Amino acid sequence: LCLTSLCSSPPCRAKEIKTKLGTLLQKPDSTIDFIIPYPEKPEKPPKAQKPSPEEALQWRDSLEKLLQNPYGLASFRSFLRSEFSEENAEFWVACEDYKKTKSPVKMAEKAKKIYEEFIQTEAPKEVNIDHFTKAVTMKNLVEPSPTSFDMAQKRIFALMEKDSLPRFVRSEFYHELIK
C-alpha cells in the first residue's frame, strides 16, 4: 500500500470509482445469484452476558479488562457515545481486528480503511492524536504490518484510560452494574 493510494485527489478517486463501477456492472456468473439472496448484514453475535458485580468492579482499575469483556466493551462504547467520543473505542477495536489479519492484501485494505476513517485529517471519526504519532503511523502504512497502528492505538488507549475510564466509573450505568 503506497501513500498515493491513501489520497483522495480526483485522479485517484476517478480510478477507484471506475474500478468499482466495472465490478458492479459485471453480469453474475450464474443464475444462483438470483435464487439465493446474500445477507445484507452479517448475523449479530449472541448478546454478551452481563458480568457479576465483582467482575465489573475490576474494570475500575483495568481498561484492558473492560475492553476484553464483550459486555464491558459494549457498555463503555455506549457511555462514550453519550459523550461524543465513541471513535476512540471504535479505533481501538479496529486496530485489534487489524492485528489479527494474516493476508497482506486484506491487511493493506484494512489499513487503508482505518486510515481513512480514523487517522487522516477531517476523517469521519478522526481520533485525537498528535502530529508526530500521525506522521509515524502514515510512514508505517507504506508497508503495512501488524504493528502499523501500534503507536496511535497506545495513545488512544492512554487517553481513554486517563480521561474516559474515570468518568465511566463515576457514571450511573456503571454503578448499576456493581450493585
In sequence order, the 6+-apart residues with CB closer than 8 A to the CB of 18 are none
The answer, as to whether pTM is greater than 0.85, is no
User: What is the distance between the alpha carbons of residues 78 and 171, in angstroms, rounded to a whole number?
Assistant: 11
pLDDT < 70 regions, the chain: 1-47
Domains of the chain and CATH, by start: 53-176 (1.10.167.10)
pLDDT of residue 48: 72
69 φ/ψ angles, rounded to the nearest 5 degrees: -90, 120
Q: Is 165 left (phi over 0), alpha (psi -120 to 50) or beta?
A: alpha
pLDDT of residue 65: 95
In sequence order, the 6+-apart residues with CB closer than 8 A to the CB of 144 are 1, 104, 107, 108, 111
Question: How many of the other CB atoms lie within 10 Å of CB of 157?
Answer: 17
